[in-house]
Chain A
Amino acid sequence: MGFHLLSPSYCCGYQPSPPISHGLLRFRPVTGIPKPSPKGQLHQSRRASKVLAYYGITTPPYKLDALEPYMSQRTLELHWGKHHRDYVDSLNKQLVKSPLYGHTMEELIKVTYNNGNPLPEFNNAAQVWNHDFFWESMQSGGGKLPQGGVLQQIEKDFDSYSNFRDTFVESAMALFGSGWVWLVLRTEEKKLSVVRTSNAICPLVWGDIPIIALDMWEHAYYLDYKDDREKYINTFMDNLVSWHAATVRMLRAEAFVNLGEPKIPVA
């Protein structure tokens, strides 16, 4: 799910020039393409040019009213259309003056996390990724029980699905302030685990593989649930979480983490 900078759809018509000796890719305007541009016109000099966009906003894989009545269309409109979009726009603005382009989103998060001393771009980058991951962690008709390989792994690592569910809910309730709750596959311990993170932090920075995420920032639930976090969390578990997405992610994760005998999840 990384954003690839050379993809034309994100480059708005710019093409990379041949690599310069110090390895930095620079984007040059392609001549002859009519485009409404601000005062930095299409010029053909070899000086560094202004890049218009690095990362784009992805849309949730469902219409904005698809999660009703558990997550209202209004919430999606604001949460995705304003909050998520703001993070993307802010990140792009920051990157104009920064030497950090050329990364996929996941690389960018690890680089800007800077081993615990996050750079200013971290918050925006991580929140862009987190929200993409969050939309894809939900689906209409979600909730119910995981199946196949995911269920087996949950039962192995938590003793039972209901143990896992209780752990997840408790962790979310115990979060102080803004943050996220995750089901991750820990790459070192090779097992599933529930973790909670503050603000924008994402388990990618520790090299773990997220499987499911729940946004516990107040803007995620306040319009629909006001201060009733418990109801929000339970509704997420019962009606929104996409175990299909979790299965796909587990499949991919098993390419990186050896979980023992080969398991062929029945999706």
Chain B
Amino acid sequence: MALRAIAGKKTLTLGLGFGPSGAAAAASFPGLGSGLHARGLVTFSLPDLPYDYGALEPAISGEIMQLHHQKHHQTYITNYNKALEQLEEAMTKGDSSKVVHLQSAIKFNGGGHINHSIFWQNLKPANEGGGEPPHGSLGWAIDTDFGSLEALVKTMNAEGTALQGSGWVWLALDREVKKLKVETTANQDPLVTKGANLVPLLGIDVWEHAYYLQYKNVRPDYLKNIWKVMNWKYASGVYEKEVA
């Protein structure tokens, strides 16, 4: 029992210590755990950004990117790991009320980790192709389901602006009917909470921390500018894999 506790603690600190300088393998697959407890509990660490903090300027400032990545995302991961450990303990003890009680912390922090891991992949510096409109099958699907790319952007911006409080606005693929949809989720709820068949292609974080330092209360300006660094290649990749 003591051995397990020691082994667990050590790998946990190892897992958390990866930070921006390591975990290269984890970066290519968002959400992949990289710490292992003796009993097999997988914990998570902060994935690297595939670009510098300042690379998305002027659409998103370097200051925001650094805080967003190193503080906010890291906090979600830290608390997610904590909740997972507590869950494992509660499950081992058969403590049902603790297990259920932990679900909201897992949904919030785990969701935060999932959502932000996707978000970093959704963004790309303008000089590396960020903002380039989608071609191929995703482009046609957008025209079919929304009329045009402009109409889609307009819809997503409207939904994002209208969202009360904190949350995300998504371009989603309903993998069952093979149609694109715009969805919003509250707080850090991942897209699946809106439908088990929904696959996230693009997500825009409309929590105030995502834009406040730069855009203050003018969320519409943030939404207008973020399309200049949108990584449509990632979205197309996910889309093509799903409809193949």
Contact = CB atoms under 8 A, between A and B. Distances in A.
Given A219-B217, A227-B71, A227-B72, A178 B209 contact: no
- The 7 residue pairs across chains A and B that have the minimum distance between CB atoms: A218-B208, A177-B187, A178-B165, A199-B165, A227-B71, A177-B166, A176-B108
B145 to A, nearest CB: 27
A202 to B, nearest CB: 14
B72 A178 contact: no
A123 interface: yes
Contact of B212 (A179, A198, A200, A219): A219
Contacts, number: 51
Interface of B: 67, 71-72, 75, 104, 108, 164-167, 186-188, 207-209, 212-213, 216-217
A123 B165 CA distance: 10
Contacts of B209: 218, 222, 227
A254 interface: no
Interface residues of A, number: 19
Contacts of A199: 164-165
17 contacts: A78-B216, A78-B217, A123-B164, A176-B108, A177-B166, A178-B208, A198-B165, A199-B165, A200-B164, A217-B208, A218-B166, A219-B217, A222-B208, A222-B212, A226-B213, A227-B67, A227-B75
A72 B23 CA distance: 39
Interface of A: 78, 82-83, 86, 123, 176-179, 198-200, 217-219, 222-223, 226-227
A226 B67 CA distance: 8
Contacts of B186: 177
A238 B108 CA distance: 29
Nearest to B107: A176
B81 to A, nearest CB: 17
Given A218-B209, A223-B213, 19 more contacts: A78-B216, A78-B217, A82-B217, A83-B217, A123-B164, A177-B165, A177-B187, A178-B165, A178-B166, A199-B165, A200-B164, A218-B207, A218-B208, A219-B212, A219-B217, A222-B213, A226-B71, A227-B67, A227-B71
Contacts of B75: 227
Given A176-B104, A177-B186, A227-B209, A217 B165 contact: yes
A253 to B, nearest CB: 28
Contacts of B188: 176-177
